[in-house]
Structure 1
Amino acid sequence: MGSNEQTGHLRKSHKQIEDSQQRLGKLVSDGSQLVTNIQIASDAREMRRRAEEDELKRLRQEKLNTEAKTSLEKFEEITKKWTQNKPRQAAHELWVVLNSQQQLCAHLIEEKNWLVGELQKELKRKDEQYVKDLKRQGEDIDLLVERMEEQVRSLTKAYRQELLQIEKAFELERTKLLNVHVKKWEQGMQSRRDKELEGLMNRMKKVEEYEHQLKQLRVQDGEEYNRVKIKQETEVQLLQQQLQQMKATYQLNQEKLEYNFQVLKKRDEENTITKSQQKRKITRLQDVLNNLKLKQAKQIKQYKEENQSLADDYMRIVEQYKDLQKKMWHFDVVETKMFEDIWLMNEEEVKKLMQKALEADRIIQEQQLGLPWEAPNLWFMDNVGPLVAKPKTQKSATKLAQEVMSSTGQDVLGGSHHETHQTERFSVQTIKHVLELLCDESGFLIEDKVVRLLSPLDKDEQSLIKLDSIFGALGIEVEDDVYKLVDFFQKYKQEQIRSEKDKVEMREPSNIGNPVESQSAPSTGDLVHSNDVLTALKAFVKEIQKPREKMAHGPVEERDNSEDAAYWAAIAQVIPDSRLRVWDALESALEKYYNILNRRSELITETSSLRQQNTELSSLLHQYMNSKINSELEIPPTQMMQVEYSHS
């Protein structure tokens, strides 16, 4: 029922909105019609004025045509009288003819003047009509503005009234909806109270059940405690027996140590005798040492001087080398920039010429030959600047680690340590052993939160994630870096073995027979010992940073120009030879057509010149024939021409 009431209220508000829209639309339509009536009346007047103007123009044209025809007839009549009158001897007859001719000319001029006056009056009337039209248009515009302002005021007032009506309708709907929802809210709150009371009763029942379960658990835990207590007492008795056995063992070891002490004491007495002998030997060798120290001081002084001189030379050579490197870098950069600029300039010019050639080919194909034109493959248009060789792709260090950790065979992997060095090859087992050493000894490079997240994973997944973090900390990115690390660990182990041999050779054989056991030498395997992994990593990081710094600050790398010739050849050969042969044939045909057009132009110019000469001769002949001197001659030229025409 509440939803039906809400729908009814909504329909009432919507009906109010629709009624308001209809009333406002009608008001806007009436206002627009009231405003456009002025424009319609103005357009009607303009159409009527144009119709009247067309009629006047037609009448004026007819009048002009009639007057021109009449004037032409009168002019021909006057002209004929000049040519028809025969030469008279009496001056009186000539005066009469001349007077009649003057009267006809005056009458013709008077008609012309009357027509000019009529046209001037019509022009003046048009000016006055134009001023009146401007005044009427100003009045229409003022009336239009006044009606528009009145319409805006009335629309504003109507919109405000309709808006108030709509707001009242929505306010009534809001009040009714609020009452309906308040009733629903009270009903919901009452149902919620009932459910809370029911939940409280259920909770009390569960608490009683849990207390009963706790009592049972206390009894069970008491029994379990007694069993554990008996078991622990039994284990304590066993540990006491073991303690007695260990005391007996310690007593036996103490007696062995006392025996060894007596033996060592005996050896100490023997060493005392040997010590006195060594003292005498030391005294003798002390003199030799003093002489050697004097020689050493002289040599040290000499070596210091030589070292200082060499150091100065070295510093001077280093400065010269640095200056030379800077100059080389500067010249490389300048030459590279100049090469790029020249390349870009030539490339831009060539591409413009190529576009012109393609446009000319398209025009020739479509306009001259009437054939469809297809654009060629312009793969080189996307390139801007010198060609750059694509870098060789390598596997990432993490991908290599994943392959190695998942492998169980003895496959051999290879990686180039440097572009100019030979390729080193390592077994999968060796690389796997190095990666396991990194995981075990480089845990400090992994964040604590990462270590906590790795605990639920298996060993291989933990190792891969640890290696990813360690690679990121050490700057190891691609597979070649991993091969460099394996090679460095092998060489580092070899260096350790070599240094240990040197120490053993330099050690005096005085400790032979010492009962105390000496420390064992490090393992002679292929890889570094686990205790030396951190030291080796520090050395590796320093060594791997040097070539990267050289690459960052060294001379510019030489560019691969193997594809330059093909690139420029492709641009130069964008128009095929078959199309060029068509161009040649079309060029020869167009040259012939051009020669024909030139000859035609010369003939047209010559014809125009002859026509102009003919016109000038006709004008001179007409002037000569109409000259007044002909009437004074006894035999005018016209009679001679008539005679010639009659004979001919």
Structure 2
Amino acid sequence: MEARRLRISARLEAKRREALGEDPNSHKEQKEEPRKSRKQMEDSRQRLAKLVSDGTQLVTNIQIAADARETQRRADEEELRRLRVEKLDNEAKTSLEKFEDITQKWLSSGTRRVPQELWELLNLQQQQCGRLIEDKNKLIGELQQELKRKDELYVKDLKKQAEDVGLLIERMEEQIRSLTKTFREELLNIEKAFESERRDLLNSNRRKWEEGMEARRGRELEDLTLRMKKVEEYERQLNQLRVQDGEEYNVIKIKLETDVQILQQQLQQMKATYQLNQEKLEYNYQVLKKRDEENTITKSQQKRRITRLQDVLNNLRIKLDKQVKECREQNAAQSDDIQRLAEQCQDLQKKMRHFAAADAKKFHDIWVMNEEEMKGLVHRALEADRIIQEQQLGLPWKTPDLWFMDNVGPLVPQKQKKKSASVLAQEVMASAGSDESLTSSNGQSARLKAGVPGSAEQPSPPFSARTVKRILERVSEESGFLIEAKLKQLLSPLEKDERSLLKLDSIFGALGIEDEDDVYELVDFFLRYKQEDAPGQDDGDTDRSDTSAGDDRPRQGVLIHPNDVVRALRAFVADFHKPSEKLSQSRPAGWEERDSSEDAAYWAEAARVVPESRLRVWDALESALEKYHDVLSGRSQLITETSSLRQQNAELRMLLHQYLNSRINQELEIPPTQMLQMEPQN
């Protein structure tokens, strides 16, 4: 490498001498022995290059180590995420199997009539429920421990990052001090070596210095380009992984939705099977009733045997009294057990309410903390945008609409209230003979939200007041078994409409009908029950006015037969009481699910506080300021070099003045001043 530098330098020097008209061979003879100044310069350059290379490697080692740690951390995080997802999937499958097993045992409890078996089944179900809740709590504890570990790891990473930054700054400062000291020492040595030949080699040294700096800038530019390419490649890989994860999530979501649809179809099939079994049982009941009439005839023939079996009957009565006594004792013991279980259920509900309140408070605190952090970031972003608009660009700045900054705590959307079933029944009874359609609480026509079980269509027709009134009156007349005997005695002196309203209030409470939608669902079910379940039956009880009462589609006008009201009510109750409602009834008082539909829009509004156009202005301003900084840095370097050259020229003038005014020159035969005067003449 050193020999190549010397050959290149010799060729450049020869070309320069040819351009000036000098003899290149004479210079070669003089160059056979390296000059002291060039040797000193080469030694200094090698020492400085080695020092710069070692310092750069020492500084970049910190970044390389940090990149390696970050890569390893991301790989470990991906593996932990995969294990966590597998654990959650396995736990969800296991919990679903246990829940289905518990539900199946509850269904099979209806076939048992012995109290001991029911008590054992209740204990077994309670143990299984306890184990299921314990598994859930254990999984929650593990996830909380993992979250705590992540927080600790995050704090450690911040400390490590601060240490790396401090070490990086320390090494950079040490490198700057070392380079400064070395440059000064080498510059002093080069100045001493160039004292005898500064006039001839000053331009050459400056040109070589500029070439070296240009090569260094080229190498730095190549390194920067290579690093930018690596960053782009890493971004492309991250985007590819993000798209792949999104596709996997969509596939899993579609599979789960398909499973839910299949389970719903199976539930409808089971309901149809239960309805068929109920009709079979009613048929068997009629057959048994017929047989009972036949047995009455046979009973008269068996009276002759009563005398002969009287003794046997007395013995059986003694045994019966003994068994009745034992059963009473068992009932007393089981009553105590039931009371104890009821107290345990109440304690469990208190715990559930306590945990629900604790979770709600924790959610509120976390929300408020994140909201305060978000507001601080928004203020910083707006302050930066204001400074850029007013100070850097000189444009007027207007405060944007910050409606979300006034919110404190989780969002609470307002819910729309509906009419109660009792209020709707009172309005229907008051609007007797009117043909106007009823309206719901929001001012629109009341329409049914659900169709007949198993049907593909979801009808939502309006019903006239007369139609609703006739259906409710028939339900009130044929559903007296749902009303207590004391209430019937109290209602007897009232008028017909008031008596019907009070009866309907009691019937609604027994059937679980609460609001106007439930009443419309009952009316539509009764109208469809006659059309679909009993299409050939016609009792002559018709309501022809419904076809002209403003209905969207024609009705047959045939009301349900009084004998079919009980069966229709059974079918309606079986379809109306959904599992989700039973689940909501089993929840403790005060349990409410929070509506989070507006949370995403709230946080997205905070993220868009600075428009995209302003962000592009920021990027352009940053690029312009960086270029301006480069220009100022170059000017600073040139000013430093100019000051150094001026100082050197002043020192040279001082030395020349001392040399010309020295006393030894007067003793010479040809003083230097004469030589200087003769050179201009030549």
TM norm structure 2:
0.30
> Which structure would you say has the larger RCO, counting Cα contacts within 8 Å and 6 or more residues apart?
1
Q: Work out which of the two has the higher radius of gyration on C-alpha atoms and give 1 or 2.
A: 1
Per the normalisation by structure 1, the TM-score is 0.31
More helix by share: 1
